[in-house]
Chain A
Amino acid sequence: MSHLGPLLLKEERAVFSSPIACATVAVYLLLMGYTFTAVLFLNRTGDLVRVFFQAAVLFLLIVPVVTMRLFAEERRAGTLELLLTAPVREMDIVLAKFLAGLTLPTVMLALTASYAVVLGIYGDPDWGPIYSGFLGLFLLAAGLTAIGLLASSLAPNQIVAAVAAMGLGILLWMIDTLGYLLPDPFDRIVSHASLVAHFTPFATGAMFLSDVGFFLTLVLTGLFLSSRALARR
């Protein structure tokens, strides 16, 4: 019998009853609102490319703050012992925490959709890049959530989890620049690991299955390693 339902419900309540949820959504909306307004008035173009990149950078900073408590908080409070001694699959626990961690960025994205609505009302935007941009942001958020979950499952406390996830996320975001310094084939390998290299096509309206596959691989790897980290005790 799967325990995903009750676990997910509990995790969602934990995420949304925490003051972190309110604070991160508020900060995100404030900064995104500023970005959207500034870009719209300065550029006077009906696209969201810069808004998407701004959101991606904010996700690099915000998602680790959301995910840091997922395992580290349970470990600190000792409740992880309750969960792991119940007749529950470790993967159900990991999956519930991942989905709950992804909910908050998804809510932020849904709220960001209001900018697209504004563009639709007052202009005639090209909807293709807008759809692909939101899909790209969602996949990026999922990848960062998986990284954050893994950091939280390994770190001794929440702060270390947040710093580690942030560091790894930012490193993966800009690792493609390292590719210019490396010889073939290492330059290509490093470039393939870059978050920005795989996100840029989505933001500019070019969707490739390989980019979707990259983010899905990142998510599955994060979930698998988190599950192994949990089993190692």
Chain B
Amino acid sequence: MSPLIAVERLSKWYGSRLAVDRVSLEVERGEVMGLLGPNGSGKTTILRILTGYLRPSEGTVRVADLDVVTRSREARARVGYVPEDVPLYEWMRVSEFLPFMARLRGLRGPAVGRAVEAAVERLALGGVRDLLIAKLSRGYRQRVAIAQALLGDPAVLVLDEPTNGLDPRQIIEMRGHIRGLAGAHTVLVTSHILGEIERVADRAAVLLAGRLLGVHRVRPDGRDVRLRVRVRGPLEVVRARLQAIPDVRAVTVESEPTPDVGTYLVESRTRPIADRVAAAVVGAGLGLLEMSAAPLDLEALFLELTGRAAGAGR
């Protein structure tokens, strides 16, 4: 099955400034993809191209196999979007704004009421339904914005910095809402805060100065691509046996044998390796004491990738 979102060699120039530089990215159905990067790294520009607000300078973006330029309206109908500063019509009541947005999304007649009711219930907006949007707190505004994005049940939800400006309690609620959307929707969420992406995303795409540095899995999905193993045996022998396993990319010694039990981090390129790691250790007559999945430390990865990019730039 083709990915729901396919970005291919996407570039965007603002005059002479290159904001996005040949970014390629795929997002599968039902997953939460985080775009992580400092301010000005091109996250919002990518989202704006995906949602049809901006035109790409080069490259293509497809949503559900629809090109966002040549079949823009059809593609836009499949995307719900919450822009960064949560722009809403302040002079409207929530009960006016949501039906208006539902009609823009092509709903008519009783379908408008049904979609609005479902969104109000899901985001717990019943208590503020009759209030002017100008009177709402930042947290409620954010919820109203997500509610409008859900109208018409789009396959893709795009949230630009959804926790910006929220207090700690609202941030926790917002994380819950985002995780609750996963599965039924494909969610693309940006943040410049590493911890936010770590908490809500399945995968994280790290961006710096418009370039995609890498895409990494944040949540384990059963594919044991990073394993932490405790093995009894001499360091050099254990390391040599682990490195000899096909598909193993790197073996890091986390703690040296004291006296003869060491902890090693084994990273595969893509494929599951748990069974082969176990077979290699046991087959060599070494003692396999413990083996567990080692989720990615996004902070370390971010520093490594951005540091590497900075080094390459010098």
Q: Which of A205-233 contact B (CB under 8 A)?
A: 233
- Which residue of the partner chain, among B48, B73, B85, B108, contacts A87 with CB atoms under 8 Å? B73
User: When the two chains form their complex, are residues B54 and A87 in contact, meaning their CB atoms are under 8 A apart?
Assistant: no
| CA distance in complex: A84, B53 (Å) | 6
Give chain A residues whose Cβ lies under 8 Å from the Cβ of B104. Answer: 3, 6-7, 83, 86-88
Give chain B residues whose Cβ lies under 8 Å from the Cβ of A21. Answer: none
Give chain B residues whose Cβ lies under 8 Å from the Cβ of A7. Answer: 104
Give chain A residues whose Cβ lies under 8 Å from the Cβ of B103. Answer: 3, 5-6
- Which residue of the partner chain, among A14, A79, A86, A233, contacts B105 with CB atoms under 8 Å? A86
Q: Choose, from B74-82, B229-237, B278-286, the stretch at the interface.
A: B74-82
Least CB distance, B46 to chain A, in whole angstroms: 14
| CA distance in complex: A77, B90 (Å) | 9
Determine whether B40 belongs to the interface, using a CB cutoff of 8 Å to chain A: no
User: When the two chains form their complex, are residues A85 and B76 in contact, meaning their CB atoms are under 8 A apart?
Assistant: yes
- Which residue of the partner chain, among B54, B91, B101, B108, contacts A82 with CB atoms under 8 Å? B101
User: When the two chains form their complex, are residues A79 and B88 in contact, meaning their CB atoms are under 8 A apart?
Assistant: yes
Shortest Cβ distance from A77 into B: residue? B87
Give chain A residues whose Cβ lies under 8 Å from the Cβ of B88. Answer: 79, 82
Give chain B residues whose Cβ lies under 8 Å from the Cβ of A88. Answer: 73, 104
Determine whether B55 belongs to the interface, using a CB cutoff of 8 Å to chain A: yes
Chain A interface, number of residues (Cβ within 8 angstroms):
23
Q: Which of A1-20 contact B (CB under 8 A)?
A: 1, 3, 5-7, 9-10, 13-14, 17
Least CB distance, A139 to chain B, in whole angstroms: 31
B85-123 interface bits toward A, Cβ cutoff 8 Å, 1 = contact, 0 = none: 101111110000000110111101000000000000000
Query: A6-B104, A7-B104, A10-B100 are contacts. A85–B81 as well, Cβ < 8 Å?
Result: yes
Shortest Cβ distance from A92 into B: residue? B104
| CA distance in complex: A47, B76 (Å) | 55
Give chain A residues whose Cβ lies under 8 Å from the Cβ of B163. Answer: none
Shortest Cβ distance from B80 into A: residue? A85
| Count of chain A to chain B residue pairs whose CB atoms are closer than 8 Å in the complex | 65
| CA distance in complex: A83, B48 (Å) | 13
Determine whether A81 belongs to the interface, using a CB cutoff of 8 Å to chain B: yes
| CA distance in complex: A79, B90 (Å) | 10
Give chain B residues whose Cβ lies under 8 Å from the Cβ of A185. Answer: none
Determine whether B295 belongs to the interface, using a CB cutoff of 8 Å to chain A: no
| CA distance in complex: A188, B19 (Å) | 49
Determine whether A89 belongs to the interface, using a CB cutoff of 8 Å to chain B: yes
Query: A10-B100, A86-B76 are contacts. A1–B106 as well, Cβ < 8 Å?
Result: yes
A146-162 interface bits toward B, Cβ cutoff 8 Å, 1 = contact, 0 = none: 00000000000000000
Give chain A residues whose Cβ lies under 8 Å from the Cβ of B54. Answer: 233
| CA distance in complex: A79, B100 (Å) | 13
Least CB distance, B278 to chain A, in whole angstroms: 50
B59-75 interface bits toward A, Cβ cutoff 8 Å, 1 = contact, 0 = none: 00000000000000110
Shortest Cβ distance from A84 into B: residue? B53
| CA distance in complex: A17, B91 (Å) | 8
Least CB distance, A115 to chain B, in whole angstroms: 34
Determine whether A183 belongs to the interface, using a CB cutoff of 8 Å to chain B: no
- Which residue of the partner chain, among A14, A86, A87, contacts B91 with CB atoms under 8 Å? A14
Known: A1-B106, A88-B104. 20 other contacts (CB 8 A): A3-B104, A6-B103, A6-B104, A13-B91, A14-B89, A17-B91, A78-B83, A79-B88, A79-B89, A81-B81, A81-B83, A81-B87, A82-B148, A83-B104, A85-B76, A87-B77, A87-B105, A87-B106, A89-B73, A233-B55
3 smallest A-B Cβ distances: which pairs? A78-B87, A6-B103, A87-B77
